[in-house]
């Protein structure tokens, strides 16, 4: 049986110390390029593979990051998680995943002092039950990147899209189609509903920019962004004396529920009521009709979150928190235009 190649074997072949080999393998900068090349040749010749577990233990790290989201059954999060896992794997990290159901105590446990630090080195976190003050009271030594709509307090990074601008774009699309009785489904007018509130703000701004006034009775609150929420809200809207001729749904799941109700009432999408969603999940590309949507760059959100978290984990002094915006675009499909456009 072939003996496992050790760090010392590489050092002897390269004619350097074991410390120098360690510095090269771990990517430290205090090695000349000539020495680095010599060590790398020895690594390649011997087929040396670093013991990642031992290295992490020596550095006081687990080699794992946690990703904490409210709901795993939401396609947006499951699609985003796939990209996070791929990005972390490239850097040699495993990913632990937890679902909080939006429970404040469960969420607080991940960022509290003395939280499960032996299990993970940092957290990518999409809080639902915690407000800005709760995030401020966290363990400041925990490397943290926030997704969604909780602005950075300077001690963590925040990665997301501009919800106000994206919602304005969605509403403008409906206005440009000649729709004037436009409903909005998904408002959440309470402390932890910032994401929904930003979408409502964009909805209002789009109307104001065109000299229009949104009808307050057409702005419907929902507890979550799921299919049943969209279906129930649409039932209410269709029972109004003047139902809407278009609906901006705060997620594609809400849009799917709304469309189901519209069709069950014998109405047509988009001829009678145009529907636009948000998130660009795979389900919306295969529904009937396919769903016009706001498409965030989920791949960029994931890779940016992982890159910033690993920078925080490996930095001797934490870098300042950044507000990082990923791009988004409007994808027109059958639910507003009656036709499918290229993605």
Q: Assess whether 24 and 95 both reside in one domain.
A: no
Q: Assess whether 148 and 214 both reside in one domain.
A: no
Instruction: Assign 78 a pLDDT band (cuts: 50, 70, 90).
Output: very high
Q: Assess whether 168 and 271 both reside in one domain.
A: yes
Q: Is the pLDDT of residue 185 over 80?
A: yes
Q: Assess whether 240 and 205 both reside in one domain.
A: yes
User: Average pLDDT for residues 56-67, to the nearest whole number?
Assistant: 73
Q: Assess whether 127 and 218 both reside in one domain.
A: no
Q: Assess whether 147 and 67 both reside in one domain.
A: yes
What order of strands is seen across the sheet that includes strand 94-99? 94-99, 64-69, 123-125, 144-147, 157-160, 323-325
Query: Is 121 domain-assigned?
Result: yes
Distances 137 to 114, 308, 327 between C-alpha atoms, Å: 13, 21, 30
Q: Assess whether 40 and 77 both reside in one domain.
A: no
The reported pLDDT for the residue numbered 162 is: 95
Q: Is the pLDDT of residue 49 over 80?
A: no
The reported pLDDT for the residue numbered 334 is: 98
Task: Specify the DSSP class assigned to residue 216.
Answer: G
Range of the domain at 156: 60-161+298-327
Q: Assess whether 173 and 292 both reside in one domain.
A: yes
Q: What CATH number is given to the structural domain containing 41?
A: 1.10.260.40
Buried b (16+ CB within 10 A) or exposed e, 216-254: eebbbbbebbbbebbbbbbeebbeeeebbbbbbbbbbbb
Q: Is the pLDDT of residue 50 over 60?
A: yes
Instruction: Assign 170 a pLDDT band (cuts: 50, 70, 90).
Output: very high
* Cα-Cα-Cα-Cα dihedral sign, residues 242, 243, 249, 254: positive
Instruction: Assign 203 a pLDDT band (cuts: 50, 70, 90).
Output: very high
| Residue scoring higher pLDDT (148 or 222) | 222
The reported pLDDT for the residue numbered 95 is: 94
Q: Is the pLDDT of residue 59 over 80?
A: no
Q: Which of 70-84, 94-108, 125-139, 247-261 has the lowest mean pLDDT?
A: 125-139
The reported pLDDT for the residue numbered 51 is: 59
The reported pLDDT for the residue numbered 114 is: 63
Q: What percent of the chain has pLDDT over 70?
A: 90
For the chain, the domain total comes to: 3
State the pTM of this model: 0.80
**Other C-beta atoms lying within 10 Å of the C-beta of residue 2:** 5
- Reported in sequence order, the residue ranges of 148-304 that DSSP labels E, i.e. its strands, are 157-160, 182-187, 219-221, 246-249, 274-278, 292-296
Q: Is the pLDDT of residue 315 over 70?
A: yes
The reported pLDDT for the residue numbered 29 is: 59
Cis before 270? omega within 30: yes
User: Average pLDDT for residues 90-101, to the nearest whole number?
Assistant: 89
* Mutual angle of helices 18-25 and 33-46, in 10-degree steps: 90
Query: Is 209 domain-assigned?
Result: yes
Query: Is 1 domain-assigned?
Result: no
Q: Which of 79-93, 257-271, 276-290, 291-305 has the lowest mean pLDDT?
A: 79-93
Q: Assess whether 266 and 316 both reside in one domain.
A: no
Query: Is 343 domain-assigned?
Result: no
**Other C-beta atoms lying within 10 Å of the C-beta of residue 199:** 30
Q: Assess whether 310 and 291 both reside in one domain.
A: no
Say how far apart CA 5 and CA 18 lie, in whole Å. Answer: 13
Q: Assess whether 238 and 287 both reside in one domain.
A: yes
Query: Is 319 domain-assigned?
Result: yes
| Residue scoring higher pLDDT (252 or 314) | 252
Within 13 Å, how many C-alpha atoms sit on residue 261's CB side? 21
Per-residue pLDDT reduced to its tens digit, 8-22: 888 899 898 888 887
Query: Is 292 domain-assigned?
Result: yes
Look up residue 17 and give its two tokens.
């110390």
| Residue scoring higher pLDDT (312 or 318) | 312
Q: Is the pLDDT of residue 150 over 60?
A: yes
User: Average pLDDT for residues 93-104, to the nearest whole number?
Assistant: 91
Q: Assess whether 41 and 119 both reside in one domain.
A: no
The reported pLDDT for the residue numbered 77 is: 93
Query: Is 2 domain-assigned?
Result: no
Q: Which of 264, 267, 293, 265 is nearest to 278 (CA)?
A: 293
The reported pLDDT for the residue numbered 193 is: 82
| Residue scoring higher pLDDT (289 or 35) | 289
Q: Is the pLDDT of residue 120 over 80?
A: yes
**25 CB contacts (<8 Å, ≥6 apart)?**
7, 39, 43, 50, 55
Say how far apart CA 303 and CA 145 lie, in whole Å. Answer: 12
Query: Is 55 domain-assigned?
Result: no
Q: What CATH number is given to the structural domain containing 224?
A: 3.40.50.2300
Is beta strand 144-147 parallel, antiparallel or unpaired with respect to 182-187?
unpaired
């Amino acid at each position: 049986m072939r003996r496992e190649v050790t760090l010392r074997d590489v050092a002897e072949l390269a004619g350097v110390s074991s410390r120098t080999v360690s510095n090269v393998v771990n990517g430290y900068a205090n090695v000349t390029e000539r020495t680095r090349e010599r060590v790398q040749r020895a690594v390649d010749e011997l087929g040396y593979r670093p013991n990642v577990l031992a290295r992490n233990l020596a550095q006081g790290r687990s080699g794992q990051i946690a990703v904490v989201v409210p709901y795993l059954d939401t396609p947006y999060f499951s699609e985003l998680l796939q990209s996070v896992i791929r990005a972390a794997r490239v850097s040699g990290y495993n990913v632990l995943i937890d679902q909080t159901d939006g429970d404040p105590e469960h969420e607080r446990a991940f960022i509290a002092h003395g939280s499960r630090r032996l299990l993970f080195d940092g957290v990518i976190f999409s809080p639902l039950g915690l407000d800005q003050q709760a995030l401020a009271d966290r363990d400041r030594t925990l490397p943290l990147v926030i997704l969604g709509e909780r602005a950075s307090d300077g001690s963590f990074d925040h990665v997301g899209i501009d919800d106000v601008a994206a919602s304005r774009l969605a509403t403008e699309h409906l206005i440009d189609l000649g729709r004037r009785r436009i409903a909005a489904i998904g408002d959440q007018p309470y402390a932890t509903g910032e994401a929904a509130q930003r979408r409502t703000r964009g909805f209002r701004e789009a109307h104001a920019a065109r000299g229009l006034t949104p009808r307050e009775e057409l702005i419907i609150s929902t507890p979550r962004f799921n299919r049943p929420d969209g279906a129930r809200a649409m039932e209410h809207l269709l029972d109004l004396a003047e139902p809407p001729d278009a609906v901006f749904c705060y997620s594609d799941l809400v849009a799917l529920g709304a469309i189901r109700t519209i069709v069950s009432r014998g109405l047509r999408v988009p001829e009678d009521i145009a529907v636009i969603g948000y998130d660009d999940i795979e389900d919306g590309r295969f529904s009937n009709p396919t769903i016009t949507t706001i498409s965030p760059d989920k791949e960029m959100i994931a890779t940016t979150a992982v890159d910033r978290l690993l920078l925080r984990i490996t930095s001797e002094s934490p870098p300042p928190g950044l507000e990082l915006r990923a791009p988004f675009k409007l994808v027109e499909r059958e639910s507003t235009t009656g036709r499918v456009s290229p993605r």
